[in-house]
Structure 1
Amino acid sequence: MQGEEVTVRNHAAAGGGGGDGGGDDQARVMDIYPLSSYYFGSKDALALREETLADRVQRMKSHYAAHGLRTCVEAVIVVELFRHPHLLLLQVRNSTFQLPGGRLRPGESDVEGLKRKLTSKLSANGAGDETQWEIGECLGMWWRPDFETLLYPYLPPNIKKPKECTKLFLVKLPVSRKFIVPKNLKLLAVPLCQIHENLKTYGPIIAGVPQLLSKFSFNIIDS
């Protein structure tokens, strides 16, 4: 596809970019495509757990006892809408927002696990799309020192046995693709300026994504 390229700096986060020089900036350019370039459909609903916070804590304790550190992998996927970078989020039960992704299976690699989760939540069943996801760099890691809900964007030095690690990976989209989402989930494109430091709505991990993306320049490619 041939198109006009317009470089847009992401100033949604404090400290918006900068590097050692022009060469570093050039290496941090990210192509993003209009939301209208993609097709969106639906498939059968996913089975979602109905559990209290106490149930979730007990499940985490059982998993830790059996397998040790729990690792989650989540995707940072950016598109263009109204000349502004938007982040793709899943909305669960019309309330909770999530980055696409989920928990790794024991012994599963970060990349293969994220591809599996993206296919489960964003591709047609049996489409064989696992190999079509381009997983980029790890943008950041969040740690859960204990089984309570508190998360840190670093591992506290006094914590020797953290209970959970969540890794955020940049996922690069092609010019077009089909997103097929379970009927009981909503896939939303949310502007970075709305997400930035909005902990009340999106939680600490999602609210921190614009700052993680501040090292990139966005090339908006018009069709």
Structure 2
Amino acid sequence: MSTIPPHALQSSQPPIIPLDFNARQPQTIRLYPLSNYTFGVKETQPEEDPSVIARLKRLQEHYAEHGMRRTCEGVLVCHEHNHPQVLMLQIANAFFKLPGDYLKPDEDEIDGLKQRLDERLAPVGSLGEGEKPVDWEVGDCLAQWWRPNFETFMYPFVPAHITRPKECKKLYFIQLPQAKVLSVPKNMKLLAVPLFELYDNTARYGAQLAAIPHLLSRYNFEYVDENGQVVAHTPGAGAPAPKVKVLAGEDDVDMDKKKQEEDSYADA
């Protein structure tokens, strides 16, 4: 058996060592495991409008009286198996949305968002004992979506021919604490949706929700276990792929089967 002489492994052209790529790292966000949070249900919160047409009519009435409507929604992120998951609501097994809603005309933006988050997710009864109201940590504004007319379409820019958009929706990153109790109205589901499920999935979630992985790519993440120890950094690897989970609300359904049956109108 022959051996390779040492000089044969040498080269007159030494390998080029790449420069460090960590000079301008984005902000690092700490994510806590899904198992750190407690989920419950509370009284039904019926939708204000029975249909999309009724919703747009109410928007038209609001615009006539107050001008452009302001809406704020929160992007709440935790992790499972070292992969980010976004908490969102599902209504009638079809309509997906982030927690939040439109603001009153005279309401401060951040205070109003905290109030909307409490209305949707704050615990009640025994689950709410010891929980402080309006303790949400509102972070960066991730995106602005504009509704140019009294219709369902919204855009991440104001079209050039539009001088008076009818609604502006802002998405804010919400830094979840290490542990928290959340309650969802009985007529809704609270889901934990992995980023890979949202990515490029406009057919199911609509353009706004499908864009969330792009919006969160501005951050690095570090993943903390139930004992408060950092166990992984972006990117995570070697863990099983998480799935969409129903955390609270209506009875469980086969989410994979629903994918084939539902037509999402999340941008409405």
Q: TM-score range by the shorter chain?
A: 0.7 to 0.9
Summarize deviations over 1:74-101 as a string: whole Å, max 9, x none.
Answer: 0011111122111101011111100110
Q: How does 1:41-52 map to 2 (within 5 A)?
A: 41-52=40-51
Matches within 5 A, 1:78-93: 78-93=77-92
Aligned equivalents of 1:104 and 1:111: distance in 2? 10
- Structure 1 segments of 4+ aligned residues over 6 angstroms from their partners: none
C-alpha contact (below 8 Å) 2:144/2:170 kept by paired residues: yes
Matched, 1:174 2:177: yes
Give the deviation of 1:107 after TM superposition: 1.4
Match for 2:184: what amino acid?
V
Give SS of 1:146's match. coil
- The aligned residue for residue 154 of structure 1 is 157
Amino acid at match of 2:111: E
Q: Which has the higher strand share?
A: 1
Q: Report the AA paired with residue 114 of structure 1.
A: L
Bigger mean CA offset, 46-55 vs 72-81: 46-55
Contact 2:118 2:134 (C-alpha < 8 Å) held by counterparts: no
Question: Which string of whole-angstrom CA distances, capped at 9 and with x for unpartnered residues, describes residues 18-42 of structure 1?
Answer: xxx74641x5101000000001111
Cα distance in 2 for partners of 1:124, 1:79 equals: 18
Which structure 2 residues correspond to residues 7-22 of structure 1 after superposition, within 5 A?
Answer: 22=22
Give the AA of the match of 2:84. P
1:113 has 2:115 as partner? no
Give the conservation status (yes or no) of the 8 Å contact 1:46–1:182: yes
Q: Which residue of 2 aligns with 1:101?
A: 100
Change (3 A) 1:117 1:23: farther
Q: How many residues align?
A: 202
TM-score (norm 2): 0.72
* Partners of 1:143 and 1:152 within 8 A in 2: yes
Contact 1:35 / 1:80 at 8 angstroms: preserved in 2? Answer: yes
Q: Distance in 1 between matches of 2:49 and 2:154?
A: 22
Aligned to 1:11: none
Letter in 2 for 1:162: P
> What is residue 33 of structure 1 aligned with on the other side?
32
- Per-residue CA deviations over 1:26-85 (Å, capped at 9, x if unaligned) read x51010000000011111111223523322221111110011001110001111112211
Comparing 49-58 with 161-170, greater Cα deviation is found at 49-58
- The percent of aligned pairs where both chains have the same amino acid is 41
TM-score, normalised relative to structure 1 = 0.86
- Equivalent residues of 1:119, 1:129 under 8 A apart: no
State the distance in 2 between where 1:123 and 1:31 align: 22
CA RMSD of aligned residues (A): 1.6
Inter-partner Cα distance in structure 2 for 1:51 and 1:61? 16
Answer yes or no: is the 8 Å Cα contact 2:115–2:134 preserved in 1.
no
Structure of larger gyration radius: 2
The answer for unaligned runs of 5 or more in structure 1 is 1-20
Aligned counterpart, 1:5:
none
Question: 2: CA distance between counterparts of 1:181 and 1:24?
Answer: 39
